[in-house]
Copies of this chain bind each other. A is one copy, B any other.
Amino acid sequence: MTDDDDSGSHALSLRMQRGDLFAEKCPSREVLKHVTSRWGVLVLVALLDGMHRFSDLRRKVNGVSEKMLAQTLQALEADGFLTRKAYPVMPPHVEYQLTPLGREVAEKVAILTDWIEGNLMAILTEQQQYQARQAVQSEAQAVD
């Protein structure tokens, strides 16, 4: 309960047309989930430099299992972010590639990941300082 702002149903449906992340039931939450999922992020960024086969992705995205990779790829394909082309040869050969729509999201995601990679040291430093402050707090509590 306490959810569901049905006030102004016209305004609501208009907002639904462009999506409102802050509204609980908005489908954009689902899309965001796929895009920002642990492996979704890495797959999208990996595919930014062109077509990849399944095993290429598996090797590039360190630590992903077959199951999770397949699952992630399906979700992104269902959202229209990538295409899957299977060649019925032996041994099997499947190619994954970003769609124009997918390339756009992937670029936005890459902006974020690039920033994090580039500022990692600054962030780690902040983490250290936070830990230090916490230690002081604990010490102060031990005195009282």
Q: Which residues of A contact B (CB under 8 A)?
A: 3, 17-24, 27-28, 31-33, 35-38, 41-42, 45-46, 60-63, 77-80, 101, 104-105, 108-109, 111-113, 115-127, 129-131
Contact = CB atoms under 8 A, between A and B. Distances in A.
10 contacts: A3-B63, A21-B113, A24-B63, A27-B120, A28-B113, A32-B41, A32-B116, A101-B123, A105-B115, A105-B116
Contacts of A127: 78-80
A70 to B, nearest CB: 16
A54 to B, nearest CB: 16
A69 B65 CA distance: 30
Nearest to A23: B62
